[in-house]
Copies of this chain bind each other. A is one copy, B any other.
Amino acid sequence: MTIVLKLGGSVITEKDRPETLDGRALDETADAIAEALADGTVEDIVLVHGGGSFGHHHANEFGVSTTAGSHAVDAVHAIHGAMTTLNRFVLQRLLDRDVPAVPVAPFSAAYRSGDGALTLPTGQVETLLGEGFVPVLHGDIVAHVGAGVTVVSGDELVVELADRLGADRVGLCSAVPGVLDGNDAVIERIESHEDVASVLGDSDTTDVTGGMSSKVRALLALDGPASIFDLDGLTAFLAGERPGTTVDGERQ
């Protein structure tokens, strides 16, 4: 039973303030994961975290997004460096709680072809899982044929990992309790993007990777259902429940 869990950048960082952790949220997240592993509720788990105020800030500065690239080596070091720093913070909180967390940097493994299609080799992740480690990936930049480097979002990584690892459960721990309708009520189930297109705008704060609308699109493309929930739903998700919004598209 393999779980792919994304920790939203807006959950673990203060998204409005450059390079600022949300230490309390990160502690809560790490507690929930450590407990689920310790009591055997969860066995194999791959974590992915977003960029929050670490990655997006620099990506904007250099005009880099998932489609707009840069050949500036400074862009690579600013964005990848900030994401590596955030990754170390996340790893440390997990290690402090005896979670055998190890880093897997997408920049070192993945790339995009000229049409933007992402190739993310996953043999290293599968092997780490099999050997008892908890791989922790993150939104990053990647080499992109013809474009230099572009952003790879945590959401894209989740979808790639879920597909390639054949994940049994996929969860996105977000800043909101699920996908919200026009009255800010959680939509329980989404089966196509058209169902919710009218209520899905962009994120409030800067997000080069597209906000809730792109999350839903990405999750609809998965073979199985996925959950979007907030920190209050994390323990329930890890225990096998379906808090927040379930996104369950049918593959075309």
The answer to whether B127 and A108 touch across the interface, beta carbons within 8 angstroms, is: no
Contact of A131 among B91, B102, B103, B145 (CB under 8 A): B145
- Residues 17-42 of A contacting B (Cβ, < 8 Å): none
Residues of B within 8 A of A130 (CB): 143, 145
Residues of B within 8 A of A111 (CB): 123-124, 126-128
Is A109's beta carbon under 8 Å from chain B? yes
- Residues 216-247 of A contacting B (Cβ, < 8 Å): none
Residue of B nearest to A143 (CB): B127
Q: Give the most central of A73, A77, A126: most B CB within 10 Å.
A: A73
Count chain A residues whose beta carbon lies closer than 8 angstroms to a beta carbon of B: 39
Residues of B within 8 A of A89 (CB): none
The answer to whether A131 and B108 touch across the interface, beta carbons within 8 angstroms, is: no
Q: A119-B123, A121-B121 are in contact. Are A76 and B109 (CB under 8 A)?
A: no
* Bound Cα distance from A142 to B133, whole angstroms: 12
A156 to chain B, nearest CB (A): 15
As a 0/1 sequence over residues 117 to 151 of chain A, the CB contacts with chain B under 8 angstroms (1 = contact) are 00101011011101111000000001111111100
The answer to whether B145 and A127 touch across the interface, beta carbons within 8 angstroms, is: yes
Q: What are 5 inter-chain pairs, A to B, with CB distance below 8 A?
A: A77-B95, A107-B108, A107-B124, A109-B109, A133-B143
